Amino acid sequence: MGILEVKGVNKRFGGLQALGNVNLSVKENSVHAIIGPNGAGKSTLLNCLVGKLIPDTGSVMFDGQSVLGRKPHEINQMGISRVFQTPEIFGDLTVMENMMIPIFAKRDGAFRMHAIENMMAEKDVVEAAEHMLEEMNMADKRGMHSASMSRGDKRRLEIGMCLAQEPKLLLLDEPTAGMARADTNNTIDLLKQISDERDITIAIIEHDMHVVFSLANRITVLAQGTPLVEDDPENIKGNPKVREAYLGETA
Amino acid sequence: MFGLNKKDSALLLAVAVLTMLAPFILNPFPTDSGLAQFNAGYPDLMQRFVIFGIFAIGFNILFGLTGYLSFGHAAFLGVGSYSAVWMFKLLSMNIIPAIILSVIIAGLFALVIGYVSLRRSGIYFSILTLAFAQMSFALAYSVLTPITNGETGLQLSLDDPRILDGASTTGSLPVTSLFGLEMREAVDMAVGPWSFTFSVGYYVCAVFMILAFYLAIRIFRSPFGMMLRAIKSNQQRVSYTGLNPRPYTLAAFVISGMYAGLAGGLLASMDPLAGAERMQWTASGEVVLMTILGGVGTLIGPVLGAGLIKYFENIFSKINDNVLHGWFSFLPDGIEDFIVTIIHPFVGKGWHLTLGIIFMLVVTFLPGGLVEGGQRIARMFRGKKKTGGADAAKTEAAE
């Protein structure tokens, strides 16, 4: 049994079968990549995992509990954090405030009316946020407006915000899309370090084969809404079906 | 001081001092001088400054922090006024129970309206709040006449029960008071050619505004305030960070509704009557203008905006043709008439035109409102003293 079990998931948008009978099992503490050509249904699948979409049929179990019908914030509180394709951070807030919010969410749950307390007087949150910023090598940027940072730094901050919640599963949606080579390599190193040092499962959707083969220890290939194969990276590289469906065009 | 950092304490102190000294500051011209009509230091107007200041501070907690633009906040002001007048009619002329009831009732109204309206965001939210406010206005104006007294407005009458006060013996309408201290009581002080008026009503309102301002600072600096700013900045990330945005926005909506209720209760406490026109959409639009003019999301901005608009409404609107002719009488007749004709549309009844031009200029050149204007001026002065000061000032947040 994996930490994330997707069984028989179907999703239809009008006449388009976006997902057809998807089965997926993500093992605990693995780095699982989901790859596939454009329109393969990768993002639809991801959206079904985080509560943005509800599948027409099938089940999605996380850590022994169903996530279907739950709202995004409830699923997040169960232990799934998501990193978006374009970094989703709080652009109007400082880096430090960005980092404090997930820690408050972890400590206080989905809603708490703490309207009179001074936020900087919450020592445990401030300390945890500072610690996390140091770990992300961003301590010197703590007072900066996060919108004014480079894309690579925004990505780093977003990953840091997700990690600050100590999630069991980290979902990444093309984390290096549109990045310069140097930033991509930095992100790969960061993710490697995260999966080595932490008790965490990572599921990653990616286009860039360099990223996939540097990180993943398990790969699912999706084509036209259905999983083609699920195997170890070495076997995927040599698989003729995969070459034909996907790699053949690019590699 | 009071759990605030140095900068916020200084701001609070400045606001407190300015409101306490307002009778002096707003009366800079001697009573007999030609400029005396620009004096704003009379109780009625000063009360409006601080009451609408409270209204705008509360509105800014919703609009400035969460970015949800409510176009129906006047409904809560009106509800507050009606509640207060009913308290004067039924219980006592003491303003404290009246104000407590206005805040509670306005809060309950905000809870219901907010619960429904906050299911949508952006323009749909604004339209929903506008619809609710117009429905409240229509109800107050006609259907609910037994409660609101329709278009006449709700007033006191001699045969009201007033359980705590007992029957009136004097045969005249009782006046609002704070434990016997009458709101309309005032002391005049003459210093040379100047004359200053200190009224009980104004100081009661001023104390409420300072408290309301202090509470707003605390909310802005709290984790709750930070969550609201996060919702304005990126609602998607808020959801995917395990926070439920709905109760946060609803809480902000109710708090700002209660501020509006407090303002409405104070309006009725200064002058115990309530009319439906207080709930009309123009009144809701006015508080939006105040907030944007002063500076959305800043602490002091809404108060400045409220002051400016009320000043225009009451002072600028009194400049009529006679006054203009008086000013320009030193010019030859033809030129005098010409100049008066030019200025005429912008003053007196045309004060809205000037306000509109100012609003356009502020929104175009100072998107941060009057507060941004103040900051730019401060930066200019600082920049002259020492180079490099400009960058330091830039990082100091507007709040």
Contacts of B227 in chain A (CB under 8 A): 101, 104
Strand ranges in A38-89 using DSSP code E only, listed in sequence order: 57-62, 65-66, 80-83
pLDDT tens, per residue, chain B with 399 residues: 677 889 999 999 999 999 999 999 898 888 888 788 888 888 899 999 999 999 999 999 999 999 999 999 999 999 999 999 999 999 989 999 999 999 999 999 999 999 999 999 999 999 999 999 999 999 999 999 888 988 889 998 888 888 887 766 677 888 888 988 888 888 888 888 888 889 999 999 999 999 999 999 999 999 999 999 999 999 999 999 999 999 999 999 999 999 999 999 999 999 998 999 999 999 999 999 999 999 999 999 999 999 999 999 988 888 888 888 888 888 888 888 888 888 888 888 888 899 999 999 999 999 899 999 999 999 988 876 554 443 433 333 334
Residue B242: list chain A partners with CB under 8 A. Answer: 73, 76-77, 102, 105-106, 109-110, 165
Hey, is the C-beta of B219 within 8 angstroms of any chain A C-beta? yes
Q: Is the dihedral of CA B165, B167, B169, B171 positive or negative?
A: positive
- Rounded distance, CA B367 to CA B95, Å? 39
pLDDT at B395: 36
- Given this model, what pLDDT does residue A228 score? 85
pLDDT at B194: 86
By Cβ distance, the residue of A72, A109, A120 closest to B240 is A72
For the domain spanning B6-279, the CATH number is 1.10.3470
Which amino acid is residue A51, in one-letter code? G
Q: What letter would DSSP give residue A27?
A: P
pTM for the full model? 0.91
Alpha-carbon gap, residue B7 to B294, rounded angstroms? 19
Search chain B and give the residue with CA nearest A125.
Answer: B223
Distance CA A84, CA A95 (A): 18
Q: Quick check: B3 and A118 CB within 8 A?
A: yes
Tell me the sheet residues that pair with B186.
Answer: B199
pLDDT in the model for residue B392: 37
Write out pLDDT tens, residues A100-146: 999 999 999 999 998 888 888 899 999 999 999 999 999 999 999 99
Please tell me the number of Cα atoms within 13 Å of B324 on its side-chain side. 21
pLDDT of residue B157: 86
User: E strands within A27-141?
Assistant: 31-35, 57-62, 65-66, 80-83
Which fold does the domain A1-79+167-251 belong to in CATH?
Rossmann fold (3.40.50)
- Please, what is the end-to-end C-alpha distance for chain A in angstroms? 33
CA of A157, closest CA in chain B: separation in Å?
A: 13
Q: What is the ipTM metric for this complex?
A: 0.91
On whether any CB of chain A is under 8 Å from the CB of B224, the answer is: yes
pLDDT given at position B300: 94
Could you tell me if B225 lies within 8 Å of chain A, comparing CB atoms? yes
Below-50 pLDDT ranges, chain A: 250-251
Measured between CA atoms, how close is A172 to chain B, in angstroms? 13
Give the domain ranges of chain A. Answer: 1-79+167-251, 93-164
The answer to whether the Cα torsion of B170, B173, B177, B179 is positive or negative is positive
Q: Is the dihedral of CA B337, B341, B342, B344 positive or negative?
A: positive
Q: What is the pLDDT of residue B388?
A: 43
Of B224, B237, B247, the CB nearest to A114: B224
Question: In this complex, which of B222, B225, B239 lies closest to A72 when CB atoms are compared?
Answer: B239
Burial class (CB in 10 A: 0-12, 13-18, 19+), B282: exposed
CB B59 within 8 A of CB B118: no
Kind and range of the H or E run holding B213: helix B200-221
Q: Which residues of A fall below an 8 Å CB-CB distance to B? A: 50, 71-73, 76-77, 81-82, 84, 88-93, 97, 100-102, 104-106, 108-122, 125, 143, 161, 165
Q: What are the sequence ranges of the domains in chain B? A: 6-279
Contacts of A119 in chain B (CB under 8 A): 221-223, 225-226
Structure tokens that stand for B5 in this block: 């950092």
Alpha-carbon span A100 to A124, nearest angstrom: 10
Six-digit token pair at A190? 């960061």
* Nearest to A169, CA basis, from A191, A201, A206, A196: A201
Q: For residue B122, give both structure tokens.
A: 């952006």
The pLDDT value given to residue A238: 78
Q: Which residues pair with A9 in a beta bridge?
A: A22
- Interface with A, mutate which of B241, B244, B255, B256 (most A CBs under 10 A): B241
SS3 content of chain B, % helix, strand, coil (to 5): 70, 5, 25
